[in-house]
């Protein structure tokens, strides 16, 4: 979320990046220091439960307050209650407000002051109050009605990808659905409503954005077993099948690691380059989301150059691409492995981005 602050009251209610895929690249472990974009917090907290010391950066203070809320919920509530409070699982709004009375004691003063007036958002489930989530939620309701609740539940409970593909093609693979995707995700509609226009400004792919989203959505529904995909369950059902099987940081073992393990997180406000220049830290790995889509080639190249001065030799670096291919400047000591990225994408539970792993000095 560098390059533009998104409103409503924050841009993204959940991080759209699979921390299990990220962990294969970044190798989080006790003693390793990782740098990332905070976004919705699941990625950063997923690295913490694996033992890493994480610095999570975001230009939007509201995103950091959301991350603090998720961490506080994990530290104060049982797994299923935390999932329900945040919106990963279905829960009555009144109970969410009762949960908040416990969670707020764990929040830093600034985050507590920010959240206290937002009772409507807390009752709805903070996960669903991002600008992006508010944009897609009505569209998802239409898809659920089209698909049928029983079929959606079967998709999300499936461990058979072939059955998921047949289910998708039967109920969703229709010309008018594709046309709806083209309309909903046309840049003139999506840019400015679901996403800041800056994120689309560097788009180079000639394929209509709505067609791309339809293809990505089909992969989202079929490429990984539904029973293991919390993203799919939350997006398509509106809540987890099992509230204790959500993001890794909210699972019972993740909560124990967050409370008692060696990992830790620091939330930093600002853009990545400014934070790097101000703090001068060294890192064992970094992931920078799809900042290239927001920054454009020149500024993204400058960011990569700055990162290379702060990453240890042989450190892994990961970025994502949706709107345009971003090649690093040729003089940087980076070895990029796009073929590996395509392999990783096959197991990505939220496969809406190309994955670009690289190694510093490789």
At 5, give phi and psi (nearest 5°): -95, 125
Residues forming beta bridges with residue 286, ordered by sequence position: 35, 317
Q: Report whether 351 contacts 217 (CB < 8 A).
A: no
Q: Helices 42-49 and 252-260 meet at what angle, rounded to 10? A: 70
**Distance from chain centroid for Cα 186:** 22
**Among 213, 358, 203, residue whose Cα is nearest residue 296:** 203
Question: What is the C-alpha to C-alpha distance for residues 153 and 55, in angstroms, rounded to an integer?
Answer: 37
Q: Along the chain (362 residues), what's the average pLDDT of each consecutive run of 10 residues?
A: 60 97 98 98 99 98 98 99 99 98 98 98 97 90 87 94 93 86 86 69 80 94 97 97 98 98 97 90 96 93 96 98 92 97 98 98 73
Peptide bond into 9 cis (omega under 30): yes
Question: What is the C-alpha to C-alpha distance for residues 150 and 159, in angstroms, rounded to an integer?
Answer: 16
Question: What is the C-alpha to C-alpha distance for residues 33 and 10, in angstroms, rounded to an integer?
Answer: 27
Please give the CATH number for the structural domain made up of 19-129+247-360.
3.40.50.150
pLDDT of residue 269: 97
Delimit the domains of the chain by residue range: 19-129+247-360, 132-237
Q: Which helix (H) or strand (E) holds 360?
A: strand 354-360
Question: What is the C-alpha to C-alpha distance for residues 268 and 266, in angstroms, rounded to an integer?
Answer: 6
Buried b or exposed e, range 102-114, using 16+ CB within 10 angstroms: ebbebbeeebbeb
Q: Which helix (H) or strand (E) holds 232?
A: helix 230-232
pLDDT of residue 2: 46
pLDDT of residue 196: 67
């Amino acid at each position: 979320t560098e390059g533009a602050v998104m409103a409503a009251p924050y841009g993204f209610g959940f991080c759209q990046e699979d921390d299990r895929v990220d962990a294969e690249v970044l190798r989080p472990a006790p003693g390793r220091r990782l740098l990332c974009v905070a976004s919705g917090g699941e990625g950063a907290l997923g690295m913490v439960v694996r033992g890493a010391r994480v610095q999570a950066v975001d230009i939007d203070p509201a995103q950091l307050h959301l991350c603090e809320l998720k961490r506080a919920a994990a530290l104060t509530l049982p797994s299923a209650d935390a999932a329900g409070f945040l919106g990963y699982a279905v829960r009555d709004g009144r109970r969410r407000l009762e949960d908040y009375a416990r969670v707020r004691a764990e929040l830093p003063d600034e985050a507590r002051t920010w959240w206290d007036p937002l009772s409507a958002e807390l009752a709805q489930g903070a996960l669903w109050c991002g600008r992006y989530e508010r944009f897609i939620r009505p569209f998802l309701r239409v898809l659920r009605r089209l698909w049928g609740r029983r079929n959606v539940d079967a998709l999300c409970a499936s461990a058979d990808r072939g059955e998921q593909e047949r289910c998708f093609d039967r109920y969703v693979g229709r010309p008018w659905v594709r046309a709806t995707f083209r309309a909903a995700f046309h840049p003139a509609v999506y840019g400015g409503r679901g996403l800041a226009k800056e994120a689309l400004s560097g788009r180079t792919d000639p394929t209509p954005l709505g067609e791309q989203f339809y293809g990505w959505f089909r992969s989202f529904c079929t490429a990984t077993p539904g029973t293991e995909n919390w993203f799919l369950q939350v997006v398509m059902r509106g809540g987890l099948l099992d509230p204790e099987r959500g993001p890794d940081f909210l699972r019972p073992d993740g909560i124990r690691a967050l409370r008692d393990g060696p990992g830790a997180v620091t939330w930093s406000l600002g853009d990545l380059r400014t934070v790097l220049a101000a703090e001068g830290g060294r890192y064992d790995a970094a992931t920078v989301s799809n900042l290239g889509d927001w920054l454009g080639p020149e500024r993204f190249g400058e960011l990569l150059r700055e990162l290379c001065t702060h990453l240890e030799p042989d450190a892994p670096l990961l970025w994502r691409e949706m709107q345009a291919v971003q090649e690093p400047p040729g003089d940087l000591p980076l070895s990029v492995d796009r073929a590996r990225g395509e392999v990783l994408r096959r197991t990505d539970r939220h496969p809406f981005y190309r994955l670009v792993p690289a190694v510093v000095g490789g």
